[in-house]
Each structure stands twice: as C-alpha cells, then as structure tokens.
Amino acid sequence: MKAEKWGDANGFYYDSCAENTLIDKAKKGNTSAFEELMSIHLKVIYNYINSRIAEKEDVKDILQETMLAVWKGIKGFDNNSSFKTWCFGITKRKIADYYREVCLSFSFHFF
C-alpha cells in the first residue's frame, strides 16, 4: 500500500493512517512496507545526518546503520511518539556512536 500524500508550499506530508498501516505491516516483517515507510522519511534523515557529519562516506554509513537499527527495532515501536520522532532518536544515537568512535580513535593516536 502506498502512503497517500498531500502537500503545501513547504513540501509533502504523508497520511498518518497510511503510515500506521505500513508500520503494522513492517512490524510483521513485510520488507516492502518497510521500504515504503522509510522512503517517506529517508530524505529528512539523510539531511539531518549530513548536516552533522562532514565525510560523505560516513554519512552513508550512519544512514545505513540507522536504517538497520530501525528495521531491527520496529517491533518495539509503540506509537507513543510519531514514527519520525522515533527514527530521529535512533539517528541521534547513531551519530553519537560515530563521534564516540572518532574521539576514541583520535585520543589513541596521541598515546
């Protein structure tokens, strides 16, 4: 099922009922529903990561790690927040993991 979209001058927004249907299907392991669901949010998540990470290859790696974490964790998504907010929480943690790794790597070069 494709999410219904409607838009305004600022861009497109998606019908939350269709999004919830995609979430329910993805929770049951439907990869097509997951791909459609993530296509709704992919550009915003990519832009968020890209605004915080300088290296384009690292941006792609973090995006991939984020998508994998969302897929692995989707069964635990409980609708207490929006799906977008939940995805951004995961994205922020992946960015923090990246910087922790970079800082550890950087500090070991000095010892």
Q: Is the pLDDT of residue 4 over 90?
A: no
Percent of the chain with pLDDT over 70: 80
Q: What is the pLDDT of residue 109?
A: 53
Residue 5 forms beta bridges with which residues? 14
Using pLDDT thresholds of 50, 70 and 90, give the confidence band for residue 96.
very high
Q: Is the pLDDT of residue 87 over 70?
A: yes
Mean pLDDT of the chain: 86
For the segment 28-52, the average pLDDT, to the nearest whole number, is: 96
Q: Quote the pTM value.
A: 0.80
Q: What is the pLDDT of residue 7?
A: 43
Identify the residue with better confidence: 101 or 24.
24
Distance from C-alpha of 56 to C-alpha of 20, rounded to nearest angstrom: 32
Is-contact 31 41, C-beta < 8 A? no
Neighbours of 33 (CB within 10 A): 20
Distance from C-alpha of 62 to C-alpha of 5, rounded to nearest angstrom: 27
Q: What is the pLDDT of residue 103?
A: 80
